[in-house]
């Protein structure tokens, strides 16, 4: 039985300790509950300090000038709407009748005006002028070819008969032929005129021969 008593004492001791532990726990809770009350008292003081600081900062900061309002850009005036032009009723004119076009008559080939041929007297004047020019330069004679004389006065003209006749008519006594073709009316006719004596006393070659 003594063993039982030991067991009972141990249990009693344990229960007493447990009760004490349980009694102490609520005290801890009360102490924890007190902390929020202290914090609540400190909160208004912190807020006051923050408000004082904010006011001092507001006083120190320079007042910002209100930004100048930009004038609204003027919109370009809308182009005036063009009114549709009133269409005038077109007066229909009676179509003019076109006259039938006349066919142009074929133009006749224009003939170039023929240049007048040099005369017999013109050729004689030119030959005598050549003779007197040679006389003034103290030349003894000159030679004249009918073909060359024709080309000199009217190149391409068919006037050799007039030219050759003038060459023959200007021959005086003492003059001679350098080239005497059978038909003297030719371009090959060539005569030598002596120019040292051109007096009117000299007879014509045709009168002597």
Ranking 29-43, 69-83, 167-181 by mean pLDDT, the lowest is: 29-43
How does residue 27 score in pLDDT terms, banded at 50, 70 and 90?
Answer: very low
Query: Is the distance from CB of 142 to CB of 196 less than 8 angstroms?
Result: no
Q: What is the share, in percent, of the chain residues with pLDDT greater than 90? A: 37
How does residue 12 score in pLDDT terms, banded at 50, 70 and 90?
Answer: very low
Determine the pLDDT at residue 116: 86
Outline where the chain has alpha helix (H). Answer: 2-60, 120-136, 146-154, 160-169, 205-208
Q: Is 180 helix (H, G, I), strand (E, B) or coil?
A: coil
More confident residue, 6 or 135: 135
Residue in the structure block whose two tokens are 């240049």: 115
Query: Is the distance from CB of 177 to CB of 191 less than 8 angstroms?
Result: yes
Residue 197, pLDDT above cutoff 80: yes
Determine the pLDDT at residue 187: 93
Determine the pLDDT at residue 30: 46
Residue 188, pLDDT above cutoff 70: yes
More confident residue, 113 or 191: 191
**Domain boundaries defined on the chain:** 1-59, 120-208
The model's pTM is: 0.47
More confident residue, 35 or 146: 146
Got the DSSP string for 40-84? HHHHHHHHHHHHHHHHHHHHHSPPPPPPPPPPPPPPPPPPPPPPP
Question: What are the distances in angstroms from CA 62 to CA 4, 56, 57, 58, 101?
Answer: 90, 12, 10, 8, 100
Determine the pLDDT at residue 178: 95
Contacts for 119 with CB less than 8 Å, ≥ 6 apart: 162
Average pLDDT of the chain is 72
Alpha-carbon span 157 to 24, nearest angstrom: 167
More confident residue, 8 or 89: 89
How does residue 43 score in pLDDT terms, banded at 50, 70 and 90?
Answer: low
Determine the pLDDT at residue 114: 73
């Amino acid at each position: 039985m003594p063993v039982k008593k030991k067991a009972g004492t141990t249990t009693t001791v344990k229960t007493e300790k447990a009760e004490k532990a349980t009694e102490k726990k609520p005290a801890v809770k009360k102490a924890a509950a007190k902390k929020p009350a202290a914090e609540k008292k400190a909160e208004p003081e912190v807020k006051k300090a923050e408000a004082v600081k904010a006011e001092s900062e507001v006083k120190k900061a320079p007042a910002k000038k209100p930004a100048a309002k930009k004038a609204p850009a003027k919109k370009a005036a809308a182009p005036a709407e063009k009114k549709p032009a009133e269409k005038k009723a077109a007066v229909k004119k009676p179509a003019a009748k076109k006259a039938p076009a006349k066919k142009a008559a074929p133009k006749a080939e224009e003939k170039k005006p023929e240049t007048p041929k040099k005369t017999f007297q013109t050729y004689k004047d030119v030959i005598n002028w050549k003779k007197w020019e040679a006389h003034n330069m103290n030349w003894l004679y000159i030679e004249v070819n009918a073909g060359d004389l024709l080309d000199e006065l009217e190149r391409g003209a068919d006037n050799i008969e007039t030219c050759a006749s003038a060459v023959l008519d200007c021959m005086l006594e003492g003059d001679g032929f350098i080239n005497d073709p059978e038909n003297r009316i030719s371009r090959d006719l060539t005569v030598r005129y002596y120019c040292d004596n051109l007096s009117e006393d000299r007879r014509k070659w045709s009168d002597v021969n």
